[in-house]
Amino acid sequence: MNAAPLLRRIAGALIDCRLEAVLIGNAAAALHGAPVTTLDFDFLFRTTPTNMRKLKAFADRLQATILRPYYPASSLFRVVDEGGLQVDFMTTIHGVRSFAALRARAQRLELDGAELLVASLDDIIRSKRAAGRPRDKAVLPILEATRAEARAPRKSRP
């Protein structure tokens, strides 16, 4: 399924609510050109009282609800709607020391006037390697091949 309409809605809502968050995970990797798929969008943000108010406004704007899954996930806020939208907001991820550093290395994606911050492929690989779950390990060779292609000098193709 084409994620563009949902990404535009999410990016628009983030801007409207002035909530600063960086797209991470497989969605971000796919935007870098990795042939991977996902069911949801993952974001890293900072948990400040202001950001928590903004997150509530973000969910309202998308006519969605914020859930706190009951399993040992560190500070996960899941925004879901009845149409199947799932946006996960995390305050920490493995392998990434700070939100500021992640944001500084992120790439800006322009979507019909709305701008979205997409984590760098290096950071995505670092976080997946540090997380070490089987599903993270499974995509690592694909992400590393994508990074190798991104670093390779561009040749004209027939």
Distance, first Cα to last Cα, the chain: 29
Shortest CB 7 distance to another protein, Å: 6
Q: How many residues bind another protein (CB under 8 A)?
A: 30
User: The tokens of 141 are what?
Assistant: 């060779």
Contact between 119 and 102 under an 8 Å Cβ cutoff? The reply is yes
Q: For the window 90-109, what string marks contact with another protein as x by the rule CB under 8 A?
A: -----------------x-x
Stretch that binds another protein, among 4-12, 66-74, 94-102, 132-140 (CB under 8 A): 4-12
Residues in the chain: 158
Helix (H) or strand (E) holding 22: strand 22-24
Q: How far apart are CA 156 and CA 158, in angstroms?
A: 7
Verify binding: residue 39, another protein, rule CB under 8 A: yes
Residues that bind another protein (CB under 8 A): 1-4, 6-7, 26-27, 30-39, 84, 107, 109-111, 118, 142, 145-146, 149-150, 157
